[in-house]
Structure 1
Amino acid sequence: KNELNRLERLKFLNTAFTIQGAPFSIPKDDTIILFRIVQEFLSNVVKHAKASSLEVMMLFKDDFLEILAQDDGIGFDQSVTSQGSGLLNMHTRAQMIRAEFELNSTKNKGTRLKIKYIKV
């Protein structure tokens, strides 16, 4: 939430943040890794997406957390960019905490991040 507020305050883009469901405790190390994945996504949005808005949702279910982040930027060709170090770092970090990681981008329609973290 603080990162989104910072982006809004600096006039980078309009942001929205939503939490649904009943939050559960996540181990500190896993929390840090989840934060770093989302932070990398936000950084990429600011640097590359030319987006005007960004939405982040945290959906807490009984046995997992799903984090969704979506921008309305220019998107990118995943076949060309998929090996970038930032994208690779996000994927590797997700694997470290046994989370499912999905990144989809459509040219001129934006990019969507989905992380599914299984409750420990």
Structure 2
Amino acid sequence: MRRLGCFALVAGLLLIAGAFWFGYGWKGAGPLAKPANVEIAEGSSLAAAARTLEAAGVIGSAHRFRWQARVFGSGAAIKAGEYAFPAHASASQVLAILQGGKALQRLVVIPEGLPSVMVRDALLKA
């Protein structure tokens, strides 16, 4: 009986530690050392976006981010675009940026009378 009590205590402590680790990662500082721009492709699911963000170093774990977004997130859809992420953005900040849809915008000036080939080149450079 005493072993069962010790096992229950250890299991409870591990459960509490796991919950703390899971929750802290949601609001705690992220791994991104300096600001970065990341493009999320149109039609990307949360899983695909999480893999892109993990590859760019914005989040530590795509799997953990997806679970945290499901548990703590608002449930709103993410939007495609190129986003600017600040250094050490938390997972909650990253999700808010993706759901907010405020993608980076670029200004391109096209002079009147410019041939279409040169317009295309100017747009591709932007």
TM-score range, shorter chain: under 0.3
Q: Give the TM-score, by structure 1 length.
A: 0.26
Question: Which structure is higher in strand share?
Answer: 1
Question: Which structure is higher in helix share?
Answer: 2
- Mark the structure with the bigger radius of gyration: 2
